[in-house]
Structure 1
Amino acid sequence: MSPLWKFTLGRVGLCVLIGALLWPTGLHILVIAMAALLGSFLLSFVVLKKWRTEMLADVDEAVKRRRAQKEELRSALAGEDE
């Protein structure tokens, strides 16, 4: 599974978990949803640090690869190809 999907599913899981924990409190559903979203955002910095680091490394690698391909294409179109 790609690091992006692991991190995304981890964030969704945290959100669902926090929402499930707040459900019995009797708060309004929108308040529970906002608290779950905010809580999953904050907890993901601590709980999902490893997955976030993996995801960022994967995205950085993809960006570097795309830049190299773009540069190769530009040099080929400019006639600088050997």
Structure 2
Amino acid sequence: MSPTVKYLLGRVGLFVVLLALLWPTGLNPLVIAMIAMLGSFVLSLVVLRKWRDEMVSNVDATVQRRREQKEKLRRELAGDEVD
């Protein structure tokens, strides 16, 4: 599973768990959703740190690979020799 998908599912999972825990409190559903959203954000900073780091590394590698491909294509279009 891709690190980005894993992190996204972790964030959604935290939100759903907090929402389920807060639902019986009897507060306004919008307030419960906002508290669950803020709580899942704060918890994800601590609980999902490893997954977030994996996702960032994956995104960084993808961006670097695309930059290299773009530069290679520019060299080819300019007529320069390619390795």
**TM exceeding 0.5:** yes
Instruction: Show structure 1 runs of 5+ residues with no match.
Output: none
SS at match of 1:27: coil
- How far off its partner does 1:73 sit? 0.5
- How far off its partner does 1:81 sit? 2.5
AA at the equivalent of 2:69: Q
Equivalence for 1:5: 5
RMSD of aligned Cα (Å): 0.7
Distance 1:35 1:3 in 2: 26
Same amino acid, percent of matched pairs: 65
> TM-score by structure 1 length?
0.97
Equivalence for 2:35: 35
AA at the equivalent of 1:49: R
Write out per-residue CA displacement over residues 35-67 of structure 1, whole angstroms, 9 at most, x where no aligned residue. 111111111000000000000000000000000
Aligned residues between the structures? 82
Q: Deviating runs (4+, > 4 A) in structure 1?
A: none
Distance 2:66 2:39 in 1: 34
Instruction: Show structure 2 runs of 5+ residues with no match.
Output: none
AA at the equivalent of 2:62: A
